[in-house]
């Protein structure tokens, strides 16, 4: 077994690998860029080596710097995590030349399966079902249009070396191809150093199913069941679960055996994933097609660990050290259900715009992932596991992926795992930047999600007008009113005791008007209970003025609420929605109608940059007439290109930015007449 390994990655996956290696008695080396100098994974590792500036292209993507760090520290092996160099054949070859083990598959398997174009050719030759498409070299945009017209719309354009949702565009017509082809090429080049693109037919009502593969260097290959990753946004996975509510035992066996055969054909070993697309319109589930094989570890691997009890990182290390697998296919079981939500630095209330900045408050519902060799490691504390690589006061940078953490829950049933997600998300305190916690909570509660009727179009179909918070039922609203009344009395009592001028005999108000969502509720506090609009509510909670999380037991049910003080009450967040709560004493409430409302200014004539980023393209100039929906500018943030479109018809008056400019949030790019 190795004595020391280097992790050629960052963030939560670096933390994840370090913890398993520590349990195995293996020393670890971290490498880090300028942006990550204070990151948790750097402090966790036994040694850390600085490898360059913040951009990945100047640090994490430079193989020579990784190898130099191995030599300087005596690391015998490298775990690449996912992304960066994890599927770069040249990196694995360079390590082999230096007699440094690669904790991953053999070079030939990476070359055959890591390239989406070559992998499709190989799969087709092996008799595996592949999605109809064009797998040759595409010369330019006109050639892409010609190919797309031949295949028939809709089509998907993908960067050959892409992954993680980067370098992908869905085109419903020729206009979409012309607008998106060059963006796909640029994203592929910027993120993976490869601008080749392929085009394939987009399967309608598709479900995204993937099979976890585990193999050793002695010819043993197993499939560790499936994961469903159908809920995606911009082709980037948001929710993953294992097993799939769609896959039957017969489908699982057919898919698994086919994926094992494909893996054997390329001499694969280590932990990888074969991704399949299944037509949700086919009730038999027999219409599944090979999409690609990711030869490295997947972001969503924890849900497989939770239902199988197998530590995939440990298995990768043991396989790389030459050990045989200590289990057979018959040993692979399905125990319960696991769901993973990716917590992203993006604001669903503002069209999912990327958000960067400092985490002024970061308190996950349980401590970050720990592995003590028992179920607590795979399934977390009471079924809740958090994989993260950030810290309270740390910064989410523009240079890397927007994922902040992964929240994994395990339950005996799918509903139990989903209920745990909602409860844990309510306790996930994250402030300082936009995030998608409310959004994934809303998904967990959505009737369609609970029914298991999923497709990759779920988000677009269920939130066509964007996300505005999960709907709140009457029980939640009444509970919030009761909590607000309790908190208001606690605040008033504290003020009474702090200000001696009021005297000890003056009791704090016990009658409040609580306004939530435009509706007012009368809240009256008694000695042992609270009445909301005349109805008694049994409530138990502890609140000290200044608390940011309140957990209340209301009529026998627990509700966690994140609170932030406002001028007239609180902003309360729970169960996937934000509620602005105004609290006034009964005798003051009638005066509220005389308050002046501030009207926000009209900014519709400005094109304002919605996030910090790089202006990679400006599509119009001064004097140009534009139509509503027309692309005006393209801004790259967190390695993803975002097309900014005209809100209405007009003429460009002035242009205030140039291609190549680094833009701050709210920077004015151009002004319309």
Note if the pTM is more than 0.75: yes
**Chain segment 229-242, per-residue pLDDT in tens:** 999 998 889 999 99
What fold is seen in the domain 606-672? Answer: OB fold (Dihydrolipoamide Acetyltransferase, E2P) (2.40.50)
Domain with CATH 3.30.700.30 in the chain: 474-594
Q: Which of 8, 38, 50 is nearest to 396 (CA)?
A: 38
What's the mean pLDDT in 316-343? 97
Architecture of the domain defined by 132-201: 2-Layer Sandwich (3.30)
**Chain segment 378-398, per-residue pLDDT in tens:** 888 899 999 999 999 999 988
Place 371 in a pLDDT band, splitting at 50, 70 and 90: low
d(CA 293, CA 108): 13
- 307 close to 275: Cβ distance less than 8 angstroms: no
pLDDT of amino acid 288: 87
**Chain segment 46-74, per-residue pLDDT in tens:** 999 999 999 999 999 999 999 999 999 99
Across the chain, mean pLDDT equals: 90
What's the mean pLDDT in 360-370? 89
The string of DSSP letters for 334-352 reads --SEEEEEEEESEEGGGTT
Domain with CATH 2.40.50.100 in the chain: 606-672
Dihedral sign from CA coordinates of 344, 349, 352, 358: negative
Pinpoint the alpha helices (H) of 346-462: 375-379, 414-426, 437-445, 447-451, 458-462
Higher local confidence (pLDDT), 506 or 221:
221
pLDDT of amino acid 286: 67
Task: Verify whether residue 292 is a known catalytic residue.
Answer: yes
**Chain segment 550-607, per-residue pLDDT in tens:** 999 998 899 999 999 998 899 999 999 999 999 988 877 666 666 666 677 778 889 9
What percent of the chain clears pLDDT 90, i.e. is strictly above it?
67
pLDDT of amino acid 506: 45
Count other C-beta atoms under 10 Å from residue 213's C-beta: 26
pLDDT of amino acid 505: 47
Task: Give the range among 10-14, 525-529, 545-549, 565-569 with minimum mean pLDDT.
Answer: 525-529
pLDDT of amino acid 69: 98
Pinpoint the alpha helices (H) of 197-354: 249-265, 301-308, 312-320
pLDDT of amino acid 367: 86
Domain with CATH 3.40.50.20 in the chain: 4-103
Residue 375, pLDDT > 70, answer: no
d(CA 618, CA 644): 10
pLDDT of amino acid 308: 96
What percent of the chain clears pLDDT 70, i.e. is strictly above it?
93
Counted residue by residue, the chain has a size of 673
Side by side, the strands of the sheet bearing 613-618 are 640-645, 631-637, 613-618, 662-663
Torsion-angle region of residue 539: left (phi > 0), alpha (psi -120 to 50) or beta? beta
What fold is seen in the domain 474-594? Answer: Glycoprotein, Type 4 Pilin (3.30.700)
Domain with CATH 3.30.470.20 in the chain: 208-227+244-462
The two beta strands, 577-585 and 569-574, are: antiparallel
Domain with CATH 3.30.1490.20 in the chain: 132-201
Higher local confidence (pLDDT), 82 or 136:
82
The two beta strands, 197-201 and 569-574, are: unpaired
Most trustworthy range by pLDDT among 209-223, 530-544, 584-598: 209-223
**Chain segment 408-455, per-residue pLDDT in tens:** 999 999 999 999 999 999 999 999 999 999 999 999 999 999 999 999
Side by side, the strands of the sheet bearing 625-626 are 606-608, 668-672, 650-655, 625-626
Architecture of the domain defined by 208-227+244-462: 2-Layer Sandwich (3.30)
Cα dihedral 131→136→141→142 (10° resolution): -100
Residue bearing tokens 């913890």: 19
Mention the CATH class of domain 4-103: alpha beta
Residue 507, pLDDT > 60, answer: no
**Chain segment 645-669, per-residue pLDDT in tens:** 998 899 999 999 999 998 888 899 9
Q: Which of 343, 336, 335 is nearest to 364 (CA)?
A: 343
Q: Which residues pair with 329 in a beta bridge?
A: none
Residue 508, pLDDT > 80, answer: no
Residue of 240, 241, 275, 292 marked catalytic? 292
């Amino acid at each position: 077994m190795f004595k020391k390994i280097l992790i050629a990655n960052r963030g939560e996956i670096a933390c994840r690998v370090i913890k398993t290696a520590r349990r195995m008695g293996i020393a670890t080396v971290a490498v880090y860029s300028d942006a990550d100098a204070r990151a948790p994974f750097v402090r966790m590792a036994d040694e850390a080596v600085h490898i360059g500036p913040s951009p990945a292209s100047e640090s994490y993507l430079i193989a020579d710097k990784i190898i130099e760090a191995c030599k300087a520290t005596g690391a015998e092996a490298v775990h690449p995590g996912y992304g960066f160099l994890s599927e770069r054949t040249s990196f694995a070859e360079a390590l082999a030349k230096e007699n440094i083990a690669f904790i991953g598959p053999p070079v030939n398997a990476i070359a055959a399966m890591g390239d989406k174009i070559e992998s499709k050719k190989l799969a087709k030759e092996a008799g595996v079902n592949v999605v109809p498409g064009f797998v040759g070299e595409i010369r330019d945009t006109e050639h892409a249009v010609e190919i797309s017209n031949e295949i028939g719309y809709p089509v998907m354009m993908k960067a050959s070396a892409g992954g993680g949702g980067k370098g992908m565009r869905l085109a419903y017509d020729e206009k979409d191809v012309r607008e998106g082809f060059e963006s796909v090429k640029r994203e592929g080049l910027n993120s993976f150093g490869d601008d080749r693109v392929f085009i394939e037919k987009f399967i309608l009502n598709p479900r995204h199913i993937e099979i976890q593969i585990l193999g050793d260097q002695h010819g043993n290959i197993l499939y560790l069941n499936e994961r469903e990753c159908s809920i995606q946004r911009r082709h980037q996975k948001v929710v993953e679960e294992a097993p799939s509510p769609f896959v039957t035992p017969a489908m699982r066996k057919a898919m698994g055996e086919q994926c094992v055969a494909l893996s054997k054909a390329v001499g694969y070993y280590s932990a990888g994933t074969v991704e399949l697309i299944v037509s949700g319109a086919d009730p038999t589930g027999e219409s599944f097609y090979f999409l690609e094989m990711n030869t490295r570890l997947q972001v969503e691997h924890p849900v497989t660990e939770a239902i199988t009890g197998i530590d995939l990182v440990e298995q990768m290390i043991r396989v790389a050290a030459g050990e045989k697998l200590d289990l057979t296919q018959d040993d692979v079981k399905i125990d319960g259900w696991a769901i993973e939500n990716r917590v992203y630095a993006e604001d669903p209330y503002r069209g999912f715009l990327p958000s960067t900045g400092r985490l002024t408050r970061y308190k996950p519902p349980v401590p970050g992932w720990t592995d003590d060799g028992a179920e607590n490691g795979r399934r977390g504390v009471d079924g809740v596991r958090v994989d993260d690589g950030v810290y309270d006061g740390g910064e989410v940078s523009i240079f890397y992926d927007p994922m902040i953490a992964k929240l994994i829950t395990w339950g005996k049933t799918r509903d139990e795992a989903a209920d745990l997600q909602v409860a844990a998300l309510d306790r996930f305190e994250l402030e300082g930047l936009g995030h998608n916690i409310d959004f994934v909570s809303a998904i967990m509660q959505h009737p369609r999600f609970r029914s298991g009727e999923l497709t990759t179009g779920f988000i677009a179909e269920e939130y066509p007008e964007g996300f505005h918070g999960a709907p709140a039922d009457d029980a939640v609203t009444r509970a919030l009113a009761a909590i607000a009344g309790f908190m208001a009395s606690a605040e008033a009592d504290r003020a009474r005791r702090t200000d001696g001028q009021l005297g000890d005999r003056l009791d704090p108000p016990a009658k409040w008007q609580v306004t939530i969502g435009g509706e007012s509720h009368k809240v009256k506090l008694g000695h042992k209970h609270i009445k909301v609009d005349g109805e008694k509510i049994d409530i138990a909670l502890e609140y000290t003025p200044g608390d940011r999380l309140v957990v209340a037991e209301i009529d026998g049910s627990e509700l966690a609420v994140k609170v932030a003080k406002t001028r007239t009450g609180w902003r309360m967040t729970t169960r996937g929605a934000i509620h602005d709560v105004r609290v006034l004493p009964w005798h003051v409430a009638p005066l509220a109608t005389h308050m002046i409302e501030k009207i926000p200014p009209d900014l519709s004539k400005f094109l304002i940059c919605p996030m910090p980023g790089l202006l990679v393209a400006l599509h119009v100039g001064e004097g140009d007439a534009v139509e509503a929906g027309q692309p005006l500018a393209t801004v790259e943030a967190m390695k993803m290109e975002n097309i900014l479109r005209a809100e209405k018809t007009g003429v460009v008056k002035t242009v205030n930015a140039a291609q190549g400019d680094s833009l701050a949030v709210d920077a004015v790019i151009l002004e319309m007449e």
